């Protein structure tokens, strides 16, 4: 068991590399220091739980799927859509199987099954997690656009067109109708063009 837990410990260090791994597609939009894969996975997991709860699916399961959805990128890096045109996309299930070698079977089988479920996109939770991945990209695109990266519009449009669930589409409509600081204005009781009069 100590050897198996040592392998788990190694993987935890490996997973930490995702905090430094950048989402490379944003470089094409001119973003100099794009979000990391870990940052993307965190908000995707949060969004997955929201979509799943509102769609009547299991929010914990959807978040669980989402938090692991890009875990293979510790070994493959973030392969953006342009790169996929020229190279075969790594098989997430094969990479996950390699990552799980030597771990306790109960853990290894759980993670392998999780990735298979996410990739199959057949369960309600997997559909919600996939929508969360796209919705997070749309949301990040809006934030980058607001920071002056006009080319992020391509990612906003592409992500919007790939949403499946009613909830994700309705949330996208709301996100597109506001700017990234509307939450702060609302919290502070301010009008859109300035502080509230009082």
DSSP string, 159-191: HHTT--SHHHHHHHHHHHTS-TTHHHHHHHT-B
pLDDT at 30 over 80: yes
Q: Identify which of 158, 175, 142, 155 has the alpha carbon closest to the alpha carbon of residue 51.
A: 175
Contacts of 185 (CB under 8 A, 6+ apart): 191, 192
Structure tokens at 172: 């996208």
Q: Identify which of 4, 17, 117 has the alpha carbon closest to the alpha carbon of residue 76.
A: 17
pLDDT at 93 over 80: yes
Task: Categorize the per-residue pLDDT at 32 as very low, low, confident or very high, splitting at 50, 70 and 90.
Answer: very high
Task: Categorize the per-residue pLDDT at 1 as very low, low, confident or very high, splitting at 50, 70 and 90.
Answer: confident
Contacts of 19 (CB under 8 A, 6+ apart): 36, 38, 39
Instruction: Quote the pLDDT of residue 193.
Output: 66
163-178, pLDDT tens digit by residue?
999 999 999 999 999 9
Contacts of 16 (CB under 8 A, 6+ apart): none
Contacts of 43 (CB under 8 A, 6+ apart): 136, 139, 140
36-67, pLDDT tens digit by residue?
999 999 999 999 999 999 999 999 999 999 99
106-160, pLDDT tens digit by residue?
999 999 999 999 999 999 999 999 999 999 999 999 999 999 999 999 999 999 9
Q: 40 with 18: CB under 8 angstroms?
A: no
What domains appear along the chain, each with residue ranges and CATH number? 2-76+85-178 (1.10.3210.10)
pLDDT at 195 over 90: no
Task: Categorize the per-residue pLDDT at 83 as very low, low, confident or very high, splitting at 50, 70 and 90.
Answer: confident
Task: Categorize the per-residue pLDDT at 197 as very low, low, confident or very high, splitting at 50, 70 and 90.
Answer: very low
Burial of 76 (0-12, 13-18, 19+ CB in 10 A): middle
Structure tokens at 191: 């009008």
Phi, psi of 101 (to 5 degrees): -55, 130
Q: 36 with 16: CB under 8 angstroms?
A: no
Structure tokens at 146: 């607001």
pLDDT at 196 over 70: no
């Amino acid at each position: 068991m100590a050897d198996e837990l040592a392998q788990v410990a190694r993987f935890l260090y490996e997973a930490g590399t995702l905090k430094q791994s950048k989402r490379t597609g944003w470089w094409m939009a001119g973003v100099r220091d794009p979000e990391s894969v870990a940052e993307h996975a965190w908000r995707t997991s949060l969004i997955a739980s929201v979509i799943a709860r509102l769609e009547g699916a299991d929010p914990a399961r959807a978040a669980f799927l989402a938090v692991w959805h890009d875990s293979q990128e510790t070994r493959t890096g973030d392969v953006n859509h342009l790169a996929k045109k020229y190279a075969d996309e790594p098989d997430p299930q094969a990479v996950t199987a390699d990552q799980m070698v030597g771990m306790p079977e109960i853990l290894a089988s759980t993670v392998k099954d999780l990735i298979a479920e996410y990739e199959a996109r057949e369960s309600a939770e997997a559909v919600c997690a996939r929508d969360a991945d796209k919705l997070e990209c749309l949301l990040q695109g809006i934030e980058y656009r607001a920071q002056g990266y006009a080319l992020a519009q391509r990612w906003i449009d592409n992500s919007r067109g790939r949403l499946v669930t009613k909830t994700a589409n309705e949330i996208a409509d709301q996100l597109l109708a506001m700017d990234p600081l509307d939450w702060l204005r609302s919290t502070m009781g301010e009008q859109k063009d300035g502080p509230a009069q009082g």
